[in-house]
A and B are shown apart, each in its own frame.
Chain A
Amino acid sequence: MKLKTDELRMLDGKEGLVRQKAMELLVKYGDALGAAEFVDVDNVFILSGLFSYTDVFKYPIDIDSIASEYFLDSQEKLMVDNVKAFTTNHLFTIDLANGHADLVKAPKILQDLIAATQHYCKRIGISVTGTCTPYQCGNTPVFGEHVAWVESSAISYANAVLGARTNIEGLESSFSSALTGKTPLWGFHLKENRRGTTLVQVDEKAISLDTVMDYELMGCHVGRTIGTEIPIYPCGKHHPNADMLKGLCATGASCGGIEMYHMVGVTPEAHSLEEATGGLSPKQAIQYGTRERRECYERLNNSSKDLVDVVTIGCPHYSIRQMAQLARLLEGKKVNENTLLLVYTARSIETVAARSGYAEAIEAAGAHIVVDSCPINIYFPTSSVVATDAAKITYYMTGLRGYENVWYGSMLDCVDAAITGQWRGELR
């Protein structure tokens, strides 16, 4: 890689050992990608507290040693002072407040690890948003801004919906970008790699795109079919809202590898089909109709048991609009005594939900509003029957957590399951 003066300064250790290690990692990473140079970033989203593999950690917890190894790939213990770029963080794995860690049976070591990580983030100058949806909580990049983000659903949202530019960063690369203000100029940072390659032809007579679930199922099919290509979606009869595009981002990325897409007349690099394709012919066209929709729905439903133990909703984190919808659905209702209803959102959204009376309605029904965490971070026996309104969660609930019985449906289906204790969802 060709390095500029300020980058060489950091690499040579003139700004201390921490930034030297961070630059070393970024240079290795940039070389591995085949990048020619770095670009400056002053907007970083890191995975500070996402510890999915608790078994690897042992007492005593020394957060600086853990951060050195897992955030910076350094076996030598490094004392990080301050991040250089504006940096917000992803969730903290579990919610330490309101007894929620015990409610989801989180291991003790994980709780201690998270407490230490929270102090660490505050100490090194991270803006602690604790969410997978920074764009809902005060970190919204502008069109054309180069950023270094983690979280496949948020990366897709930043690239496609906001027109910001980021690759799919990982824990170590994003942390190094936070410390140095640099990321490799590669991939989606370059305009030529952002043009749409695949036309999605929606059977508009049969398919109506009206709900978050409609968008999730479409994203699921397209992700599974085209992997990492860049799809161009048509705009449905009704202009989508942010929650619908958030769902499209999450499933396109998790069912495939879509980190950039266009929607003609909706997303900022697709005022026209010609702009979306960069004036070139698309490589291919794929169909999306009722058959594809049903196939995805059936694939996402992996349970044979109707009695539901846990309903876990809010992936990506519910927006304030979704909290309002949920409050209306739960008004005057009671969650079944054999079922747990867990609702995931960001702390800042919970604050607005409380102020607006939504939190009161949700909690009065017996549901739990969980912050700093994610619907997959529940630690019940894997024979438990789980229901969710997020296609992404079904994937990780089975693959990462090993749950054998997972139902997928709409927010309404999930609320019904929580109230009746039974899964009665179907594709409508």
Chain B
Amino acid sequence: MKSIALQGRPVAPGEAKGEALVTTEAISWCGGVDPMTGIVTELGHSLKGQNVKGKVLVFTTGKGSSAFSHAAHVCRVAGCQPAAILVKEVNPQIALATTVMHIPAVTELNQDPTQVIDTGDTVAVDGYSGVVTITKRS
């Protein structure tokens, strides 16, 4: 099985492994994801109807309301948070949301994660070293 290793900057500590859910769009947690289920609700979003729970969520960056971290926090309390997050770019919403979701996150990877990783790949995220290991589905 084909395996790829990427190196990035650790954002939030921890280690996790899971199935990737990938979008080339930004995500808004407040209003764009139902935190009580983990389902993406934003109209017209490429992930609409998909569930982020337990996934390694790969996207560009956070967008929208400053209640982003609160929605993410509620998502963690409800047990519907992703396993890990990989973003192209960190902004305050992502920095705070990954902190309060208590999940590992990595950014500034040496390749664009939204291009290298496909939905369904298995991805291991090391939030201490910034190493991301991708096992392609096929």
Q: Which residues of A contact B (CB under 8 A)?
A: 25, 28-29, 32-34, 47, 50, 52-53, 55-56, 69-70, 73, 150-152, 155, 167-173, 186-187, 227-228, 254, 256-257, 395-396, 398-400, 402
Contact = CB atoms under 8 A, between A and B. Distances in A.
Contacts of B98: 32
A301 B63 CA distance: 22
Interface stretch (B51-59, B88-96, B115-123): B88-96
A29 B95 contact: yes
B26 A173 contact: no
A70 B70 CA distance: 7
16 contacts: A29-B92, A33-B92, A52-B67, A53-B70, A152-B65, A169-B92, A171-B67, A171-B69, A171-B70, A173-B96, A228-B61, A256-B63, A257-B26, A396-B65, A399-B32, A399-B42
A373 to B, nearest CB: 15
A150 B67 CA distance: 8
A169 B99 contact: no
B21 interface: no
A396 B71 CA distance: 13
Given A32-B11, A168-B91, A56 B70 contact: no
Contacts of B96: 29, 32, 169-170, 172-173
A279 B135 CA distance: 46
Nearest to A52: B67
B9 to A, nearest CB: 7
A343 B109 CA distance: 47
A29 B100 CA distance: 9
Nearest to B42: A399
A151 B97 CA distance: 15
A276 B11 CA distance: 31
Nearest to A154: B66
B81 interface: no
Contacts of B30: 52, 400
A50 B90 CA distance: 25
Given A34-B9, A55-B36, A170 B31 contact: no
Given A56-B77, A228-B91, A257-B26, A173 B67 contact: no
Contacts of A34: 9, 90
B134 interface: no
Nearest to B11: A32
Nearest to B77: A56
Interface in B35-62: 35-36, 41-43, 61
B105 A32 contact: yes
A155 B66 contact: yes
A408 B45 CA distance: 21
A47 B12 contact: no
Contact of B41 (A28, A151, A254, A399): A399
Contacts of A55: 36
A48 to B, nearest CB: 11
A398 B43 contact: yes
A187 B93 CA distance: 12
B78 interface: yes
B65 A173 contact: no
Contacts of A257: 26, 63-64, 91
Contacts of B105: 32
A137 to B, nearest CB: 18
Contact of A47 (B32, B36, B70, B94): B70
A151 B77 contact: no
Contacts of B65: 152, 254, 396
Given A28-B12, A32-B95, A150-B66, A53 B90 contact: no
Contacts of B31: 395-396, 399-400
Contact of B66 (A53, A151, A399): A151
A33 B90 contact: yes
A257 B94 CA distance: 13
Given A32-B90, A395-B31, A172 B69 contact: yes
A52 B71 contact: yes
Contacts of B6: none
B74 to A, nearest CB: 5
A170 B31 CA distance: 15
Given A29-B96, A73-B100, A50 B73 contact: no
A27 B82 CA distance: 23
A21 to B, nearest CB: 13
